[in-house]
Structure 1
């Protein structure tokens, strides 16, 4: 999702063969899912080769369907799966439907609207209560910028009868066929059970109204988040392998890049 990445990271997009890369001085993040086929490992490897020829490269992160063959043994590796739901989605199980009814009685959902102080406070509370990597914190703090810059994003808010914000979720609809479930936060002190389910249902409804045929729910991340997605019927559809490594000799890589560089 190019608008999201650009807004939260300050990285500049560029094509590297069949893949999209994001770069800034000395660093590149390659989304190694080729546009013609996200599971084409050979095309991913070709894009990695192009990325490694960028002048002055010191650090590379590749996200794709498999570990790139160029990754050294010392590379930091993370693995997960992307989950998806068809749109329109099949009705969830009885327990989830009960949660939706309860949450629907206690909450009012707002589609759209501006990011306010209570939204920022809810995200800040989440950050205060968890030990998160600096990069994740940076992304969450830039949510207002992303929402302001992406006309295809949608903020949905769940409020109690007294107006207090109980939960929020963000969807992204830039793609022609696939909608994206981007973020979700809830206040555990006041949000009734089913608050996040209610907001996901709203984002799925929005996707259906816009003509999307699938919603990418993102990664499992952990067992709790994975359970939430699976109870809606989401299934893993695309492997996620993230490989990060440092380039041993930036000076040499710059020379090699100047010798072998070609247009992507």
Structure 2
């Protein structure tokens, strides 16, 4: 799809879509969801690449650079130079930069977000009695079904989620791609929580692509929820992760106090600072009002 590009700097020799060996390298070292080629590629329609120790994606006139090196060492001192060279090659209209204390001063910043990734160390996990009580409470009414079949019941619960939560257009777009994500990626599974009448009450989605990490990607509950249902789902995901010899579960971002409380009670801790920047790289900018209100 993309031709090989030769770059006149010694730390970038070629830029290609990932090879099988590079995909296996990502599998061995991935620790955040944005490292997962099938996930990002499916929800964004972008192609995955590696340059030095960094994953990045390109498509839809947007370059998405993941500033967390796969080796988990400190970000390369030349990371901004790498980004600039990639902009020269791909000539994107937009740059999405995800990293820790990595910003790009040569383009117009349209928005910025900060948070932290949370994870559970499975080798040290001790489930509290209160959490066990919630699991037992939910299991009296529900059972968990692991599947890859996404259907109308799942769509209905996602629609109910929209009614009770404020959801951005970008997030809605990702949710709309969930069926494609599940069907396209072999390591992704749905964990259904069903009652004794086979009615779907809630479901979670987890990705087991990486060698050391499982990723808790999404969780949705219907209006007719059951106390402890989210605990029951996560408990089953943890069992599956342990069966697949994972060391950690990445629980995603903190988002808000309620979400953080749930992650804390499961032994989750923030382990990596998250920063997201979205830039316009061309000289032609959006309207005056957009520039006025969308500032870093």
Place the TM-score, normalised by the shorter chain, in its bin: 0.7 to 0.9
2:238 aligned with 1:207: no
Secondary structure at the residue paired with 1:53? helix
CA contact (8 A) 1:19 1:47 kept: no
TM-superposed deviation, 1:218: 0.6
Aligned match for 1:238, one of 262, 272, 275: 272
Partner residue in 1 for 2:215: 180
8 Å contact from structure 1 (residues 31, 64) kept in 2: yes
Structure 1 stretches lacking a partner, 5+ long: 251-264
Higher normalized contact order (CA 8 Å, seq sep 6+, divided by chain length): 1
Q: Deviations over 1:188-222 (max 9, x none)?
A: x3221110111001111100000111111110011
Measure, in 1, the Cα distance between the counterparts of 2:81 and 2:249.
Answer: 29
* TM-aligned CA distance change 1:32 to 1:249, over 3 Å: same
* Deviation, structure 1 residue 227: 1.1
Offset, 1:104: 1.0
Contact kept, 8 Å, 1:39 with 1:65, in 2: the verdict is: no
1:7 positional shift? 1.1
TM-score, length of structure 2 as denominator length: 0.79
Does 2:161 correspond to 1:126?
A: yes
Greater CA drift, 198-207 or 75-84: 75-84
Q: Please, what is the CA RMSD of the aligned residues?
A: 1.9
For the pair 1:227 / 2:227, whether they are aligned, the reply is no
CA contact (8 A) 1:156 1:168 kept: yes
User: Aligned to 2:96, which of 32, 36, 61?
Assistant: 61
> How much has 1:71 moved relative to structure 2?
6.0
Question: Bigger shift: 123-132 or 169-178?
Answer: 123-132
Q: 1:47-104 CA distances to partner (integer Å, 9 max, x unpaired)? A: 3233332343221010012232546584522111101111245233222221111001
* Residue in structure 1 matched with residue 196 of structure 2 by the alignment: 161
